Amino acid sequence: MAAAAARWNHVWVGTETGILKGVNLQRKQAANFTAGGQPRREEAVSALCWGTGGETQILVGCADRTVKHFSTEDGIFQGQRHCPGGEGTFRGLAQADGTLITCVDSGILRVWHDKDKDTSSDPLLELRVGPGVCRMRQDPAHPHVVATGGKENALKIWDLQGSEEPVFRAKNVRNDWLDLRVPIWDQDIQFLPGSQKLVTCTGYHQVRVYDPASPQRRPVLETTYGEYPLTAMTLTPGGNSVIVGNTHGQLAEIDLRQGRLLGCLKGLAGSVRGLQCHPSKPLLASCGLDRVLRIHRIQNPRGLEHKVYLKSQLNCLLLSGRDNWEDEPQEPQEPNKVPLEDTETDELWASLEAAAKRKLSDLEQTQGALQTRRRKKKRPGSTSP
Amino acid sequence: MAKAGDKSSSSGKKSLKRKAAAEELQEAAGAGDVATESGVQPPKAAAFPPGFSISEIKNKERRHLMFTRWKQQQRKEKLAAKKKLKKEREALGDKAPPKPVPKTIDNQRVYDETTVDPNDEEVAYDEATDEFASYFNKQTSPKILITTSDRPHGRTVRLCEQLSTVIPNSHVYYRRGLALKKIIPQCIARDFTDLIVINEDRKTPNGLILSHLPGPTAHFMSSVRLRKEIKRRGKDPTEHIPEIILNNFTTRLGHSIGRMFASLFPHNPQFIGRQVATFHNQRDYIFFRFHRYIFRSEKKVGIQELGPRFTLKLRSLQKGTFDSKYGEYEWVHKPREMDTSRRKFHL
């Protein structure tokens, strides 16, 4: 039951105890999935990303340097691979053209062949990014371009098909008003769609925009928010603003055109660990150390939509980007019921006289319309029963 | 004109109300007449009870008079109702319905979804593998360092001394301008398990930071009463290890804090000493008391309060060791967001 319903989960959350939780907001249920049956703290989930084939597979990066494949259709872990090399947990996980890209804390970025799911083969490509990496992010428009950044590790953009040197290496801002060097701590990176720009948020509560296309390597725009380190960031559907979260649980929306604060979101009590916006709807999912997953609505009106208490500390999340949010509960039931009804009613109507044919045609049309609509949504290849 | 008449006639005590009522009736009747002349239906409801309220009287003394009279009447009615109820209960005897339970804020507490269910496996696993696990598995025994903020005054120093008698295996060190972040690695190197820092403001202690050394740090606001200020207290506590009582820590956050307090004391309470330390949580305030008890019979206990008495309120719980600027907070108290309901508590 849980396995069958797993595909309809709206949010997938990884915890510090190694459990992957799938949350269905429509039915307000949360289900736990573990690889070994028992939660283990050594398998704390540190990175999540979608696998191949749309949103049917999830790649789960754990603290013991294994990447597990989880299928949302079946609701089970299908396999895992060990990705050795370097020290520390995964800071970034990405998938491109049948290859797996991983980056660990000590700065070893490796590209693995994804075909052998169980055996650990040698990496296809290895890059040294520099120690203290906090985030590695893949460009959604160009899957072979990744960006990395961390503590005292400036932002670098790498092209995995190109040379071993970074394509773009950011320069630190000028010394501050006391003529002291400004320290670097890039906590999260996002690629802005439609252009080559990148946004980063730092542990020194700054939000910066870099443009590799422009001649200057310094940030094009810099703003600050709050007094605490910013830990997570996500882009809003409009593309003009970002939402950042800090270690005190404060969420803020910052406009990137002018660099000003648009508004804040209330509710979180602990450090924000994961943030993601829906690509089309104005919804934001946030998770943190206070063990609660929250879904906020960003615009008209700004506020909390759902709040789900999940008993472990949450590390990262994945929000499904699909549009048919509300239709979920009906779909699993209909394919069972409709074929039966069809055969019975067909026989019934066939036995009736011609006077009833008008009703028959109407009903058949509506049923046929429903069927085709459902079929188009779910199984495009199948024929009518 | 009717109003002027009202003012002039107001002098007496008991008759005033009836006069006022009578005049109101006349007024209403007059108004009614006027209304009929103009063609509108007369307002019959305005005749009795009168449509005016006491607060519309402009004269303060008269208004006060009317109000006291009204209050006396209310009190009489309430007393009469109570007597009647009591008589009914006595008349019914055993068949009387049970007395209704009065509503208190603790009764009406909003159900907190983070309340820990004792059978919950996930929470049990989380607790079994968190930073206190080594204490609860009896692998380590506590060793505590008590210190204060810089340049402490008399009350704070005495509180530190008294705390060190309450908590076994604790050491007091004075802070001579040392940074906490530098103290912490040295503590870890010398096998200390916990650090307590008492913060002082204007010569009184007002805050407490309890830091379990590899793990969480809790910051409390407090109010303190020292040993000599406690009336009817017993003699000083002995060196025996006390028992601990943790009351009412029901939510997940409460569990974490409760475990933090429990990990301050060694495992093996010495019942010979008959001493007990209580951490009682009520409405998000944690009350600390230290008593000596003696059982006079099976059901009668005598207790003597020893030791300092203080109240703590949690301000924040931080995941790592003390790092207020760059640390990650597990829970932060935000007054404007969390204190909106009087019936919602977090611990």
> Is there a domain that residue B277 lies in?
yes
B57-103 pLDDT, tens digit per residue, is: 899 999 999 999 999 999 999 999 999 988 888 888 777 777 888 88
> Is there a domain that residue A246 lies in?
no
> Is there a domain that residue B45 lies in?
no
B118-161 pLDDT, tens digit per residue, is: 888 888 888 888 888 888 888 888 899 999 998 889 889 999 99
> Is there a domain that residue B20 lies in?
no
Q: B317 CA to chain A: closest CA distance, Å? A: 9
For residues B165 and B281, membership in a common domain is answered with yes
Question: CA of A41: which chain B residue's CA is closest?
Answer: B129
> Is there a domain that residue A273 lies in?
no
> CB–CB of A249 and B120 under 8 A?
no
B165 touches B307 (CB < 8 A) = yes
Beta-bridged to residue A157, according to DSSP, are A147, A168
Beta-bridged to residue A171, according to DSSP, are none
> Is there a domain that residue A218 lies in?
yes
d(CA B21, CA B37): 24
Contacts of A17 in chain B (CB under 8 A): 122, 125-126, 129
Minimal CA–CA distance to A204: which of A158, A161, A164, A244? Answer: A244
* Chain A CB within 8 Å of residue B60 CB: no
> Is there a domain that residue A85 lies in?
no
d(CA A11, CA A27): 12
Whole-prediction pTM: 0.76
Residue type at B175?
R
- What's the CATH code of the domain at A176? 2.130.10.10
The pLDDT, as a whole number, for residue A117 is 55
DSSP string, A121-137: ---SEEEE--SSEEEEE
For residues B62 and B200, membership in a common domain is answered with no
> Is there a domain that residue B106 lies in?
no
Contacts of B114 in chain A (CB under 8 A): 291-292, 309
Minimal CA–CA distance to B210: which of B223, B226, B198? Answer: B198
* Chain A CB within 8 Å of residue B125 CB: yes
A146 touches A198 (CB < 8 A) = no
- Per-10-residue mean pLDDT of chain A, 385 residues long, equals 66 88 85 80 87 84 88 83 84 86 90 67 83 90 90 91 88 93 93 90 92 92 92 89 91 91 90 91 90 89 88 89 65 45 62 57 46 47 45
> Is there a domain that residue B51 lies in?
no
d(CA A42, CA A45): 9
Contacts of A292 in chain B (CB under 8 A): 114
The CB-side HSE value for A18 (13 A sphere, CA atoms) comes to 21
The pLDDT, as a whole number, for residue A4 is 58
For residues B131 and B89, membership in a common domain is answered with no
> CB–CB of A313 and B330 under 8 A?
yes
> Could you say which of B122, B252, B330 has the minimum Cβ distance to residue A39?
B122
Minimal CA–CA distance to B347: which of B281, B267, B290? Answer: B281
B29 pLDDT higher than 60:
no
> Is there a domain that residue B22 lies in?
no
The pLDDT, as a whole number, for residue B66 is 93
- Residue B323 structural domain: 121-339
Say whether A84 sits in a helix, a strand or coil: coil
Question: Higher confidence at residue A179 or residue B267?
Answer: A179
Question: In Å, how far from its chain's centre is CA B326?
Answer: 31
> CB–CB of B122 and A17 under 8 A?
yes
Number of domains into which chain A is organized? 1
For residues B127 and B199, membership in a common domain is answered with yes
A135 touches A188 (CB < 8 A) = yes
Q: For A176-215, give the secondary structure using H, E and C.
A: CCCCCCCCCEEEEEEECCCCCCEEEEECCCEEEEECCCCC
For residues B68 and B157, membership in a common domain is answered with no
For residues B176 and B274, membership in a common domain is answered with yes
B198-215 pLDDT, tens digit per residue, is: 999 998 899 999 999 888
> Is there a domain that residue A351 lies in?
no
B290 touches B308 (CB < 8 A) = yes
For residues B310 and B272, membership in a common domain is answered with yes
Question: CA of A42: which chain B residue's CA is closest?
Answer: B129
> Is there a domain that residue B47 lies in?
no
Contacts of B334 in chain A (CB under 8 A): 249, 269
For residues B185 and B87, membership in a common domain is answered with no
> Could you say which of B120, B252, B329 has the minimum Cβ distance to residue A248?
B329
For residues B157 and B293, membership in a common domain is answered with yes
Q: Which of residues 218-257 of A touch B (CB under 8 A)?
A: 227-229, 231, 247-249
Per-residue confidence band for B17, with pLDDT thresholds at 50, 70 and 90: low
> CB–CB of A17 and B252 under 8 A?
no
Number of domains into which chain B is organized? 2
* Chain A CB within 8 Å of residue B114 CB: yes
For residues B162 and B291, membership in a common domain is answered with yes
d(CA A299, CA A281): 10
The predicted model gives B302-308 an average pLDDT of 87
For residues B202 and B315, membership in a common domain is answered with yes
Minimal CA–CA distance to A25: which of A11, A35, A13, A39? Answer: A11
d(CA A94, CA A110): 11
B327, two tokens: 């640390």
d(CA A235, CA B207): 40
Question: Which H or E element spans position A147?
Answer: strand A145-150
Q: B267 CA to chain A: closest CA distance, Å? A: 26
Say whether B346 sits in a helix, a strand or coil: coil
> Is there a domain that residue B46 lies in?
no
> Is there a domain that residue A94 lies in?
yes
Cα A8 to Cα A34, A51, A278, A309: the distances in Å are 18, 17, 15, 19
Per the prediction, chain B carries an average pLDDT of 82
> Is there a domain that residue A61 lies in?
no
Per-residue confidence band for B40, with pLDDT thresholds at 50, 70 and 90: very low
Q: What Rg do the C-alpha atoms of chain A give, in angstroms?
A: 24
Residues 6+ apart with CB under 8 A from A121: A112, A113
- Residue A218 structural domain: 90-224
Minimal CA–CA distance to A338: which of A297, A374, A309? Answer: A374
Cα B72 to Cα A86, B76, B196: the distances in Å are 83, 6, 57
Helix residue spans in B106-218 (DSSP H): 121-128, 133-136, 154-166, 180-189
Residue type at A37?
G
Contacts of B326 in chain A (CB under 8 A): 203, 228-229, 247
> CB–CB of A309 and B334 under 8 A?
no
B133, two tokens: 């696990």
Q: Which of A266, A289, A308 to mutate to test the interface with B (most CBs of B within 10 A)?
A: A289
B153 touches B199 (CB < 8 A) = no
* Chain A CB within 8 Å of residue B332 CB: yes
